[in-house]
Amino acid sequence: MSALLELSPQTNLLEERSYQYNLQDIPEANLYRDIYPFDEVPRIAFNHRRVPMSMPEEIWITDTSFRDGQQSVEPYTVDQIVHLYQLMARLGGPYGIIRQTEFFVYSEKDREAMRRCQDLGYRFPEITTWIRATRDDFKLVKDLGIKETGILVSCSDYHIFKKMKMTRRQAMEYYLKTVADAFEAGVMPRCHLEDITRADFYGFVVPFVNELTRLSEEAGIPVKIRACDTMGLGVPFTEVALPRSVPGIIYGLRHYSGVPSEMLEWHGHNDFYKAVSNATTAWLYGACAVNCSLLGVGERTGNIPLEAMVMEYASLRGSLDGMDTTVITEIARYFRDEIGYEAPPMTPYVGHSFNMTRAGIHADGLLKDAEIYTIFNTRKILGRAPTVMIGQNSGLAGIAYWINENYGLTGGQELDKKDPLVLALKEWIDGEYASGRQTALATNELELKIAELSNGRLVRRKGKNDGV
Protein backbone atom coordinates (compact mmCIF):
# COMPACT_ATOMS: atom_id res chain seq x y z
CA MET A 1 0.00 0.00 0.00
CA SER A 2 1.31 3.47 -0.85
CA ALA A 3 2.41 5.63 2.06
CA LEU A 4 0.02 8.25 0.74
CA LEU A 5 -3.01 5.95 0.62
CA GLU A 6 -4.96 4.06 3.25
CA LEU A 7 -8.20 2.12 3.50
CA SER A 8 -10.44 4.38 5.55
CA PRO A 9 -12.23 2.61 8.43
CA GLN A 10 -14.94 5.29 8.26
CA THR A 11 -15.85 4.98 4.57
CA ASN A 12 -14.25 1.63 3.64
CA LEU A 13 -12.75 3.39 0.62
CA LEU A 14 -9.16 3.84 -0.47
CA GLU A 15 -8.34 7.44 0.40
CA GLU A 16 -5.41 9.80 0.57
CA ARG A 17 -3.84 9.48 4.01
CA SER A 18 -5.58 11.87 6.36
CA TYR A 19 -3.68 14.96 7.37
CA GLN A 20 -2.68 14.74 11.03
CA TYR A 21 -3.89 17.91 12.70
CA ASN A 22 -1.65 19.35 15.43
CA LEU A 23 -2.58 21.67 18.25
CA GLN A 24 -2.30 25.31 17.20
CA ASP A 25 -1.29 26.96 20.47
CA ILE A 26 -1.87 30.57 19.47
CA PRO A 27 -0.96 33.52 21.77
CA GLU A 28 -4.35 35.24 21.54
CA ALA A 29 -7.90 33.92 21.38
CA ASN A 30 -9.49 33.38 17.99
CA LEU A 31 -13.05 34.61 18.56
CA TYR A 32 -14.11 34.44 14.89
CA ARG A 33 -15.15 38.10 14.91
CA ASP A 34 -15.95 37.96 11.19
CA ILE A 35 -18.63 35.34 11.99
CA TYR A 36 -19.51 36.38 15.56
CA PRO A 37 -19.29 40.19 15.69
CA PHE A 38 -21.34 40.28 18.94
CA ASP A 39 -22.89 43.69 18.21
CA GLU A 40 -24.54 42.21 15.11
CA VAL A 41 -26.43 39.01 14.31
CA PRO A 42 -24.02 36.07 13.79
CA ARG A 43 -23.23 35.41 10.14
CA ILE A 44 -23.39 32.14 8.21
CA ALA A 45 -20.38 31.64 5.94
CA PHE A 46 -20.26 29.09 3.13
CA ASN A 47 -17.20 27.32 1.77
CA HIS A 48 -19.10 25.07 -0.69
CA ARG A 49 -17.40 21.91 0.54
CA ARG A 50 -19.81 19.00 0.46
CA VAL A 51 -19.75 16.54 3.34
CA PRO A 52 -20.99 12.99 2.61
CA MET A 53 -24.07 11.87 4.49
CA SER A 54 -23.42 8.81 6.64
CA MET A 55 -26.43 7.69 8.67
CA PRO A 56 -25.47 5.07 11.31
CA GLU A 57 -27.16 1.68 11.30
CA GLU A 58 -28.67 2.51 14.70
CA ILE A 59 -29.65 5.89 16.10
CA TRP A 60 -31.01 6.75 19.53
CA ILE A 61 -31.93 9.51 21.96
CA THR A 62 -30.30 10.44 25.26
CA ASP A 63 -31.83 12.69 27.88
CA THR A 64 -30.62 15.59 30.02
CA SER A 65 -33.93 16.57 31.70
CA PHE A 66 -32.57 15.95 35.20
CA ARG A 67 -29.32 17.81 34.50
CA ASP A 68 -29.47 20.59 31.90
CA GLY A 69 -33.27 20.73 31.97
CA GLN A 70 -33.38 21.14 35.74
CA GLN A 71 -31.16 24.22 35.60
CA SER A 72 -33.87 26.41 34.11
CA VAL A 73 -36.92 25.57 36.25
CA GLU A 74 -37.71 25.01 39.91
CA PRO A 75 -35.66 21.92 40.85
CA TYR A 76 -37.71 18.74 40.63
CA THR A 77 -38.60 16.81 43.75
CA VAL A 78 -37.44 13.23 44.16
CA ASP A 79 -40.94 11.94 43.43
CA GLN A 80 -41.18 14.08 40.30
CA ILE A 81 -37.85 12.79 38.99
CA VAL A 82 -38.85 9.18 39.62
CA HIS A 83 -42.23 9.62 37.91
CA LEU A 84 -40.71 11.37 34.89
CA TYR A 85 -38.10 8.62 34.66
CA GLN A 86 -40.88 6.02 34.59
CA LEU A 87 -42.74 7.95 31.87
CA MET A 88 -39.51 8.25 29.88
CA ALA A 89 -38.97 4.49 30.09
CA ARG A 90 -42.49 3.86 28.78
CA LEU A 91 -42.03 6.38 25.99
CA GLY A 92 -38.69 4.88 24.92
CA GLY A 93 -40.13 1.39 24.67
CA PRO A 94 -38.56 -2.03 25.12
CA TYR A 95 -35.73 -1.45 22.64
CA GLY A 96 -34.35 1.57 24.44
CA ILE A 97 -34.68 4.22 21.76
CA ILE A 98 -34.31 6.61 24.70
CA ARG A 99 -30.99 5.06 25.66
CA GLN A 100 -29.70 7.10 28.62
CA THR A 101 -30.51 9.91 31.03
CA GLU A 102 -28.06 11.88 33.18
CA PHE A 103 -28.32 12.90 36.83
CA PHE A 104 -26.59 15.31 39.15
CA VAL A 105 -25.00 13.58 42.17
CA TYR A 106 -24.00 16.49 44.43
CA SER A 107 -26.86 16.65 46.94
CA GLU A 108 -28.48 13.91 48.98
CA LYS A 109 -31.72 14.66 47.13
CA ASP A 110 -29.99 14.03 43.78
CA ARG A 111 -28.54 10.77 45.01
CA GLU A 112 -31.84 9.61 46.51
CA ALA A 113 -33.63 10.25 43.21
CA MET A 114 -30.95 8.34 41.35
CA ARG A 115 -31.04 5.40 43.78
CA ARG A 116 -34.84 5.17 43.55
CA CYS A 117 -34.64 5.15 39.76
CA GLN A 118 -31.89 2.51 39.89
CA ASP A 119 -34.11 0.38 42.16
CA LEU A 120 -36.77 0.26 39.43
CA GLY A 121 -34.42 -2.05 37.55
CA TYR A 122 -35.04 -0.62 34.10
CA ARG A 123 -32.51 -1.44 31.43
CA PHE A 124 -33.42 1.78 29.61
CA PRO A 125 -32.91 4.66 30.00
CA GLU A 126 -29.52 3.80 31.48
CA ILE A 127 -28.61 6.12 34.34
CA THR A 128 -25.48 8.20 33.85
CA THR A 129 -24.18 11.27 35.68
CA TRP A 130 -22.63 14.66 35.12
CA ILE A 131 -19.93 15.82 37.52
CA ARG A 132 -17.19 18.29 38.12
CA ALA A 133 -13.94 16.95 36.77
CA THR A 134 -12.26 16.05 40.07
CA ARG A 135 -10.74 12.86 41.42
CA ASP A 136 -13.18 12.80 44.37
CA ASP A 137 -16.19 13.08 42.05
CA PHE A 138 -14.97 10.18 39.92
CA LYS A 139 -14.72 8.07 43.07
CA LEU A 140 -18.24 9.14 44.07
CA VAL A 141 -19.61 8.03 40.70
CA LYS A 142 -17.76 4.71 40.93
CA ASP A 143 -19.13 4.09 44.45
CA LEU A 144 -22.68 4.77 43.20
CA GLY A 145 -22.32 1.99 40.65
CA ILE A 146 -22.43 4.28 37.61
CA LYS A 147 -20.41 3.20 34.59
CA GLU A 148 -20.40 6.47 32.63
CA THR A 149 -20.21 10.12 33.56
CA GLY A 150 -20.15 13.39 31.70
CA ILE A 151 -17.32 15.84 32.28
CA LEU A 152 -16.96 19.37 30.96
CA VAL A 153 -14.14 20.05 28.49
CA SER A 154 -14.86 23.50 27.06
CA CYS A 155 -13.23 23.83 23.66
CA SER A 156 -13.68 27.35 22.31
CA ASP A 157 -11.24 30.18 22.90
CA TYR A 158 -14.13 32.07 24.49
CA HIS A 159 -13.94 29.59 27.36
CA ILE A 160 -10.24 28.67 27.29
CA PHE A 161 -8.88 32.22 27.15
CA LYS A 162 -11.68 34.34 28.61
CA LYS A 163 -13.14 32.06 31.33
CA MET A 164 -10.38 29.62 32.23
CA LYS A 165 -7.55 32.12 31.61
CA MET A 166 -5.43 29.41 29.98
CA THR A 167 -3.71 28.79 26.69
CA ARG A 168 -4.93 25.99 24.46
CA ARG A 169 -2.04 23.75 25.49
CA GLN A 170 -2.68 24.37 29.18
CA ALA A 171 -6.36 23.57 28.72
CA MET A 172 -5.58 20.39 26.78
CA GLU A 173 -3.10 19.16 29.39
CA TYR A 174 -5.60 19.92 32.17
CA TYR A 175 -8.39 18.06 30.40
CA LEU A 176 -6.20 15.05 29.59
CA LYS A 177 -5.12 14.75 33.22
CA THR A 178 -8.76 14.88 34.27
CA VAL A 179 -9.74 12.15 31.82
CA ALA A 180 -6.78 10.05 33.00
CA ASP A 181 -8.20 10.33 36.54
CA ALA A 182 -11.53 9.01 35.24
CA PHE A 183 -9.82 6.06 33.57
CA GLU A 184 -7.88 5.37 36.77
CA ALA A 185 -11.18 5.25 38.69
CA GLY A 186 -12.56 2.79 36.13
CA VAL A 187 -15.24 5.19 34.88
CA MET A 188 -16.02 5.78 31.22
CA PRO A 189 -15.86 9.53 30.56
CA ARG A 190 -18.30 11.29 28.29
CA CYS A 191 -16.44 14.43 27.27
CA HIS A 192 -18.75 17.40 26.78
CA LEU A 193 -17.02 19.58 24.17
CA GLU A 194 -18.70 22.78 25.27
CA ASP A 195 -19.15 25.60 22.73
CA ILE A 196 -17.92 23.55 19.77
CA THR A 197 -19.63 25.87 17.25
CA ARG A 198 -17.28 28.69 18.26
CA ALA A 199 -14.14 26.54 18.54
CA ASP A 200 -11.12 26.22 16.27
CA PHE A 201 -12.06 22.79 14.99
CA TYR A 202 -8.81 21.73 13.35
CA GLY A 203 -6.57 23.88 15.55
CA PHE A 204 -7.88 22.53 18.89
CA VAL A 205 -10.85 20.16 18.77
CA VAL A 206 -9.44 17.46 16.48
CA PRO A 207 -5.94 17.39 18.05
CA PHE A 208 -7.54 17.22 21.52
CA VAL A 209 -9.94 14.40 20.59
CA ASN A 210 -7.04 12.54 18.99
CA GLU A 211 -5.20 12.70 22.32
CA LEU A 212 -8.34 11.51 24.12
CA THR A 213 -8.48 8.55 21.74
CA ARG A 214 -4.85 7.72 22.46
CA LEU A 215 -5.46 7.82 26.23
CA SER A 216 -8.57 5.68 25.80
CA GLU A 217 -6.66 3.02 23.90
CA GLU A 218 -3.93 2.96 26.54
CA ALA A 219 -6.47 2.62 29.36
CA GLY A 220 -8.60 0.06 27.55
CA ILE A 221 -11.71 2.10 28.42
CA PRO A 222 -13.88 3.78 25.76
CA VAL A 223 -14.40 7.54 25.73
CA LYS A 224 -17.57 9.21 24.45
CA ILE A 225 -17.61 12.55 22.69
CA ARG A 226 -20.56 14.89 23.11
CA ALA A 227 -20.40 17.79 20.65
CA CYS A 228 -22.16 20.64 22.44
CA ASP A 229 -23.71 23.49 20.48
CA THR A 230 -23.91 25.51 23.68
CA MET A 231 -25.18 28.73 22.10
CA GLY A 232 -27.39 27.17 19.43
CA LEU A 233 -25.15 28.55 16.68
CA GLY A 234 -24.90 25.35 14.62
CA VAL A 235 -26.24 25.34 11.06
CA PRO A 236 -27.57 22.22 9.28
CA PHE A 237 -27.10 23.40 5.69
CA THR A 238 -24.63 21.61 3.46
CA GLU A 239 -21.61 23.60 2.25
CA VAL A 240 -21.53 25.85 5.36
CA ALA A 241 -18.07 26.62 6.73
CA LEU A 242 -16.78 25.63 10.15
CA PRO A 243 -17.14 26.29 13.00
CA ARG A 244 -20.92 26.52 12.46
CA SER A 245 -21.34 23.51 10.17
CA VAL A 246 -23.07 20.59 11.92
CA PRO A 247 -22.26 18.20 9.03
CA GLY A 248 -18.64 19.40 9.11
CA ILE A 249 -18.30 18.87 12.86
CA ILE A 250 -19.72 15.35 12.79
CA TYR A 251 -17.74 14.40 9.68
CA GLY A 252 -14.52 15.83 11.12
CA LEU A 253 -14.84 13.97 14.42
CA ARG A 254 -15.49 10.70 12.62
CA HIS A 255 -13.04 11.11 9.76
CA TYR A 256 -10.08 12.93 11.33
CA SER A 257 -10.40 11.74 14.93
CA GLY A 258 -11.77 8.26 14.24
CA VAL A 259 -14.64 8.62 16.73
CA PRO A 260 -17.04 5.70 16.12
CA SER A 261 -20.63 6.73 15.50
CA GLU A 262 -21.81 4.90 18.63
CA MET A 263 -19.44 7.03 20.71
CA LEU A 264 -20.58 10.32 19.17
CA GLU A 265 -23.43 12.44 20.51
CA TRP A 266 -24.91 15.83 19.60
CA HIS A 267 -26.18 18.29 22.23
CA GLY A 268 -27.84 21.47 21.01
CA HIS A 269 -29.79 24.53 22.11
CA ASN A 270 -32.56 26.42 20.35
CA ASP A 271 -31.34 30.03 20.40
CA PHE A 272 -31.73 30.37 16.62
CA TYR A 273 -34.65 27.93 16.17
CA LYS A 274 -32.38 25.22 14.77
CA ALA A 275 -32.22 22.72 17.65
CA VAL A 276 -34.32 20.02 15.98
CA SER A 277 -32.94 20.42 12.45
CA ASN A 278 -29.37 20.42 13.79
CA ALA A 279 -29.99 17.25 15.80
CA THR A 280 -31.51 15.49 12.80
CA THR A 281 -28.51 16.57 10.74
CA ALA A 282 -26.15 15.11 13.35
CA TRP A 283 -27.93 11.76 12.95
CA LEU A 284 -27.77 11.95 9.17
CA TYR A 285 -24.05 12.68 9.11
CA GLY A 286 -22.91 10.00 11.51
CA ALA A 287 -23.73 10.57 15.20
CA CYS A 288 -25.72 7.74 16.78
CA ALA A 289 -27.05 9.83 19.66
CA VAL A 290 -28.78 13.17 20.09
CA ASN A 291 -29.11 14.59 23.59
CA CYS A 292 -32.51 16.11 24.47
CA SER A 293 -34.74 17.21 27.33
CA LEU A 294 -38.43 16.68 27.95
CA LEU A 295 -40.48 19.52 26.37
CA GLY A 296 -37.15 21.12 25.42
CA VAL A 297 -36.86 22.60 28.92
CA GLY A 298 -33.34 23.93 29.35
CA GLU A 299 -31.12 26.97 29.63
CA ARG A 300 -32.17 30.14 27.77
CA THR A 301 -34.30 29.02 24.80
CA GLY A 302 -34.03 25.40 25.85
CA ASN A 303 -32.56 22.13 24.65
CA ILE A 304 -33.61 19.87 21.80
CA PRO A 305 -37.17 18.74 22.67
CA LEU A 306 -37.08 14.99 23.27
CA GLU A 307 -40.59 14.48 21.94
CA ALA A 308 -39.59 16.21 18.69
CA MET A 309 -36.75 13.75 18.14
CA VAL A 310 -39.12 10.84 18.82
CA MET A 311 -41.12 12.06 15.82
CA GLU A 312 -37.93 12.69 13.79
CA TYR A 313 -36.83 9.13 14.56
CA ALA A 314 -40.14 7.74 13.27
CA SER A 315 -39.92 9.93 10.17
CA LEU A 316 -36.40 8.75 9.33
CA ARG A 317 -36.86 5.08 10.22
CA GLY A 318 -40.45 4.62 9.10
CA SER A 319 -41.30 3.05 12.46
CA LEU A 320 -41.60 3.97 16.13
CA ASP A 321 -39.71 0.76 17.00
CA GLY A 322 -41.75 0.16 20.14
CA MET A 323 -41.98 3.74 21.42
CA ASP A 324 -45.31 4.65 23.02
CA THR A 325 -45.98 8.18 21.79
CA THR A 326 -49.20 8.56 23.78
CA VAL A 327 -46.91 8.99 26.80
CA ILE A 328 -45.87 12.37 25.34
CA THR A 329 -49.30 13.70 26.27
CA GLU A 330 -49.00 12.22 29.77
CA ILE A 331 -45.63 13.92 30.20
CA ALA A 332 -47.03 17.30 29.13
CA ARG A 333 -49.95 16.92 31.53
CA TYR A 334 -47.62 15.93 34.37
CA PHE A 335 -45.46 18.99 33.77
CA ARG A 336 -48.56 21.18 33.83
CA ASP A 337 -50.44 19.63 36.74
CA GLU A 338 -47.64 18.46 39.06
CA ILE A 339 -44.60 20.58 38.22
CA GLY A 340 -46.39 23.80 37.29
CA TYR A 341 -44.75 24.20 33.87
CA GLU A 342 -46.99 24.43 30.82
CA ALA A 343 -45.61 24.42 27.31
CA PRO A 344 -46.63 27.43 25.18
CA PRO A 345 -50.03 26.62 23.68
CA MET A 346 -48.88 26.36 20.05
CA THR A 347 -45.92 24.06 20.79
CA PRO A 348 -46.00 21.02 18.48
CA TYR A 349 -47.28 17.78 20.07
CA VAL A 350 -47.45 19.11 23.66
CA GLY A 351 -49.08 22.55 23.55
CA HIS A 352 -52.73 22.83 24.52
CA SER A 353 -53.64 24.29 21.13
CA PHE A 354 -51.19 22.53 18.80
CA ASN A 355 -54.00 20.71 16.96
CA MET A 356 -56.69 23.35 17.49
CA THR A 357 -58.23 25.35 14.64
CA ARG A 358 -60.04 28.66 14.86
CA ALA A 359 -60.99 28.94 11.20
CA GLY A 360 -64.49 27.94 10.19
CA ILE A 361 -63.37 26.46 6.87
CA HIS A 362 -60.86 24.24 8.68
CA ALA A 363 -63.51 23.16 11.16
CA ASP A 364 -65.79 22.25 8.27
CA GLY A 365 -63.00 20.06 6.91
CA LEU A 366 -62.53 18.39 10.31
CA LEU A 367 -66.24 17.67 10.51
CA LYS A 368 -66.13 15.95 7.10
CA ASP A 369 -62.83 14.11 7.57
CA ALA A 370 -60.21 14.84 10.25
CA GLU A 371 -57.44 13.89 7.82
CA ILE A 372 -58.04 17.04 5.75
CA TYR A 373 -56.64 19.45 8.37
CA THR A 374 -54.69 17.21 10.76
CA ILE A 375 -50.95 16.45 10.54
CA PHE A 376 -51.51 12.79 11.42
CA ASN A 377 -53.94 10.75 13.52
CA THR A 378 -53.29 12.68 16.73
CA ARG A 379 -55.94 10.65 18.54
CA LYS A 380 -54.00 7.42 17.89
CA ILE A 381 -50.43 8.71 18.07
CA LEU A 382 -50.77 11.20 20.94
CA GLY A 383 -54.11 10.31 22.51
CA ARG A 384 -55.49 13.74 21.56
CA ALA A 385 -58.22 14.49 19.06
CA PRO A 386 -58.09 17.64 16.89
CA THR A 387 -60.00 20.49 18.50
CA VAL A 388 -61.57 23.78 17.50
CA MET A 389 -61.87 27.06 19.36
CA ILE A 390 -65.26 28.70 19.23
CA GLY A 391 -65.24 32.35 18.21
CA GLN A 392 -66.77 34.71 15.71
CA ASN A 393 -65.21 32.85 12.75
CA SER A 394 -66.02 29.30 13.82
CA GLY A 395 -69.19 28.83 11.77
CA LEU A 396 -71.77 26.08 12.08
CA ALA A 397 -69.27 23.33 11.27
CA GLY A 398 -66.91 24.43 14.01
CA ILE A 399 -69.71 24.51 16.56
CA ALA A 400 -70.94 21.05 15.58
CA TYR A 401 -67.42 19.62 15.70
CA TRP A 402 -66.76 21.21 19.12
CA ILE A 403 -69.95 19.77 20.60
CA ASN A 404 -69.31 16.28 19.21
CA GLU A 405 -65.75 16.17 20.54
CA ASN A 406 -66.33 17.79 23.92
CA TYR A 407 -69.46 15.79 24.67
CA GLY A 408 -68.16 12.50 23.31
CA LEU A 409 -70.92 12.10 20.73
CA THR A 410 -70.16 9.04 18.61
CA GLY A 411 -71.88 6.07 17.04
CA GLY A 412 -74.56 7.97 15.18
CA GLN A 413 -75.20 10.49 17.99
CA GLU A 414 -73.07 13.18 16.33
CA LEU A 415 -74.66 16.50 15.52
CA ASP A 416 -74.28 18.02 12.07
CA LYS A 417 -74.26 21.71 11.26
CA LYS A 418 -78.02 21.70 10.54
CA ASP A 419 -78.97 20.44 14.00
CA PRO A 420 -81.36 22.83 15.84
CA LEU A 421 -79.00 23.00 18.84
CA VAL A 422 -76.10 23.99 16.60
CA LEU A 423 -78.22 26.65 14.88
CA ALA A 424 -79.44 28.06 18.20
CA LEU A 425 -75.92 28.16 19.64
CA LYS A 426 -74.64 29.89 16.48
CA GLU A 427 -77.36 32.54 16.82
CA TRP A 428 -76.33 33.19 20.44
CA ILE A 429 -72.61 33.37 19.52
CA ASP A 430 -73.33 35.83 16.69
CA GLY A 431 -75.25 37.98 19.15
CA GLU A 432 -72.31 38.01 21.55
CA TYR A 433 -69.94 39.34 18.89
CA ALA A 434 -72.53 41.74 17.47
CA SER A 435 -72.62 43.27 20.94
CA GLY A 436 -68.89 44.01 20.80
CA ARG A 437 -67.26 40.90 22.25
CA GLN A 438 -63.62 40.45 21.15
CA THR A 439 -62.45 37.29 22.96
CA ALA A 440 -62.99 33.60 22.25
CA LEU A 441 -65.69 31.78 24.19
CA ALA A 442 -64.56 29.83 27.23
CA THR A 443 -65.51 26.18 27.65
CA ASN A 444 -67.60 26.80 30.76
CA GLU A 445 -69.59 29.54 28.96
CA LEU A 446 -70.38 27.20 26.11
CA GLU A 447 -71.33 24.37 28.46
CA LEU A 448 -73.75 26.57 30.39
CA LYS A 449 -75.40 27.82 27.22
CA ILE A 450 -75.60 24.31 25.72
CA ALA A 451 -77.22 23.03 28.94
CA GLU A 452 -79.77 25.86 28.68
CA LEU A 453 -80.51 25.38 24.97
CA SER A 454 -80.73 21.58 25.23
CA ASN A 455 -82.76 21.62 28.45
CA GLY A 456 -80.05 19.57 30.15
CA ARG A 457 -80.02 16.91 27.42
CA LEU A 458 -76.27 17.23 26.83
CA VAL A 459 -73.84 16.68 29.69
CA ARG A 460 -70.13 16.86 28.95
CA ARG A 461 -68.04 13.81 29.84
CA LYS A 462 -65.13 15.32 31.73
CA GLY A 463 -61.74 14.17 30.52
CA LYS A 464 -63.08 13.07 27.13
CA ASN A 465 -61.03 15.64 25.24
CA ASP A 466 -59.42 17.98 27.73
CA GLY A 467 -56.29 18.28 25.63
CA VAL A 468 -53.02 18.43 27.47
E strands within 87-218? 98-103, 126-130, 148-152, 188-193
Yes or no: is domain 5-339 CATH 3.20.20.70? Answer: yes
- CA angle at residue 350 from 344 to 353, to 5 degrees? 60
**Amino acid identity at 309:** M
Q: What is the DSSP letter of 203?
A: I
- CA angle at residue 97 from 291 to 119, to 5 degrees? 90
Q: Each residue of 17-64: pLDDT tens digit?
A: 667 899 999 999 999 999 999 999 999 999 999 999 999 999 999 999
pTM over 0.85? The answer is yes
Q: Each residue of 228-243: pLDDT tens digit?
A: 999 999 999 999 999 9
Residue 124 pLDDT more than 70? Answer: yes
User: What is residue 349's three-state secondary structure?
Assistant: coil
Contact assessment for residue 399 and residue 426, using Cβ atoms and an 8 Å cutoff: yes
Q: Each residue of 158-176: pLDDT tens digit?
A: 999 999 999 999 999 999 9
Mean pLDDT of all residues in the chain? 91
Q: How far apart are CA 37 and CA 211, in angstroms?
A: 32
**pLDDT score for 11:** 75
**pLDDT score for 371:** 83
**CA atoms in the 13 A half-sphere facing the CB of 140:** 19
**pLDDT score for 413:** 87
Contact assessment for residue 114 and residue 127, using Cβ atoms and an 8 Å cutoff: yes
Q: What percentage of residues in the chain have a pLDDT greater than 90?
A: 72
pLDDT band at 464 (very low <50, low <70, confident <90, very high): very low
Contact assessment for residue 427 and residue 419, using Cβ atoms and an 8 Å cutoff: no
Contact assessment for residue 251 and residue 8, using Cβ atoms and an 8 Å cutoff: no
**pLDDT score for 360:** 53
Q: Each residue of 291-311: pLDDT tens digit?
A: 999 999 999 999 999 999 999
User: What is residue 266's three-state secondary structure?
Assistant: strand
Residue 396 pLDDT more than 90? Answer: no
Residue 135 pLDDT more than 90? Answer: no
pLDDT band at 14 (very low <50, low <70, confident <90, very high): confident
Q: How far apart are CA 416 and CA 419, in angstroms?
A: 6
Domain extents in the chain:
5-339, 356-453
Residue 358 pLDDT more than 70? Answer: no
Q: How large is the average pLDDT for residues 306-322?
A: 98
Q: What are phi and psi of 98, to 5 degrees?
A: -90, 100
DSSP string of 405-427? HHTT--TT----TTSHHHHHHHH
467: buried, middle or exposed (CB in 10 Å: 19+, 13-18, 0-12)? middle
**pLDDT score for 32:** 97
Contact assessment for residue 302 and residue 270, using Cβ atoms and an 8 Å cutoff: yes
- In 300-340, which ranges are continuous DSSP H helix? 306-317, 326-334
Closest CA to 32 of 190, 197, 202, 181: 197
pLDDT band at 96 (very low <50, low <70, confident <90, very high): very high
**Of the given ranges (66-70, 151-155, 205-209, 411-415), which has the lowest mean pLDDT?**
411-415
Closest CA to 281 of 210, 208, 229: 229
Higher pLDDT, 358 or 307: 307
Closest CA to 119 of 78, 68, 71: 78
Q: How large is the average pLDDT for residues 93-121?
A: 96
**pLDDT score for 370:** 75
Q: How far apart are CA 94 and CA 103, in angstroms?
A: 22
Higher pLDDT, 50 or 6: 50
